[in-house]
Amino acid sequence: MEFFNLHTHKWTNQPNVLELVNQYPQEFDATIPYYSIGIHPWFIVEERIEADLAIIESKLHEANCLAVGECGLDKRIEVPMELQQMVFEKQLLLAQKYRKPVVIHCVVAFQELITIKKKLNISVPMLIHGFSKNIQVAKQLVDNGFYISFGKYLLLNKELEAVFKSVPDNRIFLETDTVEEGIEAVYELAAKYKGISVTEIQEKVNTNFNEVFDFKIFQKH
């Protein structure tokens, strides 16, 4: 595996890229090789929560479902926080039950996130996707056992260079999310910021991938 894309909404089917494609329960595409599946806080439909959770649980039995998510908390939307938290916690408990990592969407709710992780005693890896905050928030997350994925905002915001450099190599992932640029562009910028080669950043991300994800299903590649 040359490149691992932790979070994308678009499968590009490149032989040198392993893409973790974000899937939603009601829009599941069985042709996508590797995916995460979850209820995004933006798309919580109250009368459908149990049905969505049942679909997620059924997919968690499958080897090519690599993670739960994206799921999480978002204080900038109108969905009540109590409802968001309930849906998020149910997904975390599923992740814990099936030993799957969790890809997390978090907006202005990092303190709540850390509190929930501790309250539920979640031990599976938790990965914050699309990080765009400051060094202090990054450090707090790392200190509480989270991994941090950079992509869209790394490309868009030069000020994230210092934040990215501050995160230990054994806690980083890279992604494209919804940007048009390919994952190679993210790796190139990440390597430049860390002052190392693209090959070295690939090795670091691959090491983290092996730590977090059940790698044996990829031995045939």
Q: Buried b / exposed e across 60-77, counting CB within 10 Å, b at 16+?
A: beeeebbbbbbbbbbeee
The 3 state secondary structure assigned to 136-166 is HHHHHHHHCCCEEEECHHHHHCCCHHHHHHH
Residue with tokens 């690939």: 202
CB 56 within 8 A of CB 38: yes
40 annotated as a binding-site residue: no
Q: Is 29 annotated as a binding residue?
A: no
Between CA 107 and CA 137 the distance in angstroms is 12
105 is annotated as contributing to ligand binding: yes
What DSSP state is assigned to residue 9?
A: S
Q: DSSP letter for 30, please.
A: T
Query: Parallel, antiparallel, or unpaired for β 3-8 and 172-174?
Result: unpaired
Distance of CA 64 to the CA centre of its chain: 15
* Extended strands (E) in the chain: 3-8, 17-23, 35-37, 65-74, 102-107, 126-128, 147-150, 172-174
C-alpha distances in angstroms, 35 versus 85, 127, 165? Answer: 23, 14, 28
Annotated binding site for a divalent metal cation: 70, 105, 129, 177
Annotated binding site: 70, 105, 129, 177
